[in-house]
Amino acid sequence: MPSHHANRNRVRLIGGKWRSRLLTFPPAAGLRPTPDRVRETLFNWLQPSLVGASCLDAFAGSGALGLEALSRGAESVVALETDRAALTALRDNATRLEAQHFALFPVDALQWLARPATQRFDIVFLDPPFASNLLESACQLLALHGWLRPNALLYLEAGQSLGTLPLPAHWEWLRAKQAGEVHYALVQAHSL
């Protein structure tokens, strides 16, 4: 069995058409892919809503969330990432998978979300670096600028409890769990 250390810069897709395919990513500050166990739970939660969904992976990192969504039937994924090495790895992984409808933008997520929406999303993945405190701002910008389709689902991940995170009006906590240091939740943005 290979050591955990040897697999530190690889993550395996766990379901769908690319099941068991490996993604590689660079060692970059703050880049830690969502653990397999957490992704398995998340995609079990999302499965009824995933097929045909338009998704945003706002802090793409390794790309594991967005590419897993495409693997499991999402219609399209927009991925945002600023780290140059992570961007290169994301492009390489998407090319190797022949990922159609995977749009990668080298932009800061908050800057991108701070402008009026150019499209709307059914599912949004918000998994910023744990030390960043970007979750609240990202949620507020998504709500403020019209990025969400009616009753959109949002996945939130953080290094501390999400219980104190103030959600925008009309947003509802659906599920929340913890795995080790990873706190994660599914939220629904109800239509006004």
Dist CA 132 CA 73 (whole Å): 31
> pLDDT digits over 31-84, tens only?
677 778 899 999 999 999 999 999 999 999 889 999 999 999 999 999 999 989
CA Rg value for the chain: 15
Sign of CA dihedral 41, 44, 45, 47: positive
> pLDDT digits over 103-126, tens only?
999 999 999 999 999 999 999 999
Residue 5: pLDDT over 60: no
CA dihedral 109, 137, 174, 102 (to 10 degrees): -10
For the chain, which residues make up each domain, given as ranges? Answer: 5-189
Domain range 5-189, CATH architecture: 3-Layer(aba) Sandwich (3.40)
The average confidence (pLDDT) of the chain is: 89
Q: What is the pTM of this model?
A: 0.92
Q: Are 77 and 101 in contact (CB under 8 A)?
A: yes
Dist CA 18 CA 70 (whole Å): 9
